[in-house]
C-alpha cells in the first residue's frame, strides 16, 4: 500500500470558489454589490477630452424628426455622480418611436455606450430612465439618437461636467 511521505495541509475550497465567482462576475462587468453602472471609464473620458474636435458636416435635421428631451439631470448645472438620467422622446404627430433604434455615443471619439445603458435600463417609445449612472469627474459629451417609423432620426447632444 502506498503511503505519501508528506501530507498536504488541509484547506477549504470556499475562499477559492468565492474568489473565482468574483473574478467571473468582474469579467462580465457585474459586481456582487449593487454599485451604479459605470457608463464611461476615466480613461475614455480623458482621451475624449484631450482629442481635437472632429470635423462634422452641418446638416439640416428632418423637419418631423423625433425630439429628445433631457429631463434629468437638470442642465446647465454641474452634475454629481452617481446621477439619475431621464430622457423623453417625442415623435411627430403621425409617427411612432422605434425604441430599438436608440443609440448613445460618447465624447469626441463617439464611443458607442448604448449597450452599457441598456444593461441597466429599458428603452420604451416614451423614453428611458436610468436610476443611477456613475461617471468620472470631468467634462462629458453625449450624443443621443432615436428613429421613428418613417426613418427620420432625431438627435440631441448634451455637454455637462461632473464634480
Q: Are 133 and 47 in contact (CB under 8 A)?
A: no
107: left (phi over 0), alpha (psi -120 to 50) or beta: left
pLDDT of residue 62: 76
CB neighbours (10 Å) of residue 149?
14
For the chain, the domains span 42-162
- Name which of 145, 65, 141 is nearest 99 in CA terms: 145
What is the DSSP secondary-structure string of the chain? ----SSPPPP--SHHHHHHHHHHHHHHTT--SS-PPPBSS-HHHHHHHHHSPPPP----PPPTTPPEEEEEES-TTS-B-SSEEEEEEEE--TT--EEEEEEEEEETTTTEE-HHHHHTT---BTTEEEEEEEB--SEEEEEEEEEEETTS-EEEEEEEEEE-
Per-residue pLDDT for the chain (163 aa), expressed as one digit of tens each?
Answer: 555 454 444 444 444 334 443 443 343 444 444 566 677 777 887 777 777 766 565 666 678 999 999 999 988 888 998 889 999 999 998 899 999 999 999 988 899 999 999 998 999 999 999 988 888 899 999 999 999 999 999 999 999 999 8
- Give CATH for domain 42-162: 2.60.40.1220
pLDDT computed for residue 27 by the predictor: 39
pTM of the shown model:
0.68
Handedness of CA 151, 156, 37, 120 (dihedral sign): negative
Amino acid at each position: 500500500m502506498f503511503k505519501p511521505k508528506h501530507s498536504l495541509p488541509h484547506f477549504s475550497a470556499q475562499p477559492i470558489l468565492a474568489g473565482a465567482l468574483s473574478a467571473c462576475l468582474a469579467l462580465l462587468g457585474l459586481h456582487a454589490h449593487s454599485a451604479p453602472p459605470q457608463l464611461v471609464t476615466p480613461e475614455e473620458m480623458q482621451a475624449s477630452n484631450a482629442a481635437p474636435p472632429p470635423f462634422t458636416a452641418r446638416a439640416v435635421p428632418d423637419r418631423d424628426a423625433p425630439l429628445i428631451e433631457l429631463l434629468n439631470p437638470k442642465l446647465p448645472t454641474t452634475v454629481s455622480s452617481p446621477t439619475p438620467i431621464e430622457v423623453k422622446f417625442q415623435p411627430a404627430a403621425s409617427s411612432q418611436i422605434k425604441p430599438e433604434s436608440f443609440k448613445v455615443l460618447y465624447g469626441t471619439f463617439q464611443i458607442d455606450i448604448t449597450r452599457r445603458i441598456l444593461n441597466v435600463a429599458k428603452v420604451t417609445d416614451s423614453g428611458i430612465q436610468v436610476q443611477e449612472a456613475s461617471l468620472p469627474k470631468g467634462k462629458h459629451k453625449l450624443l443621443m439618437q432615436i428613429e421613428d417609423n418613417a426613418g427620420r432620426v432625431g438627435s440631441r447632444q448634451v455637454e455637462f461636467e461632473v464634480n
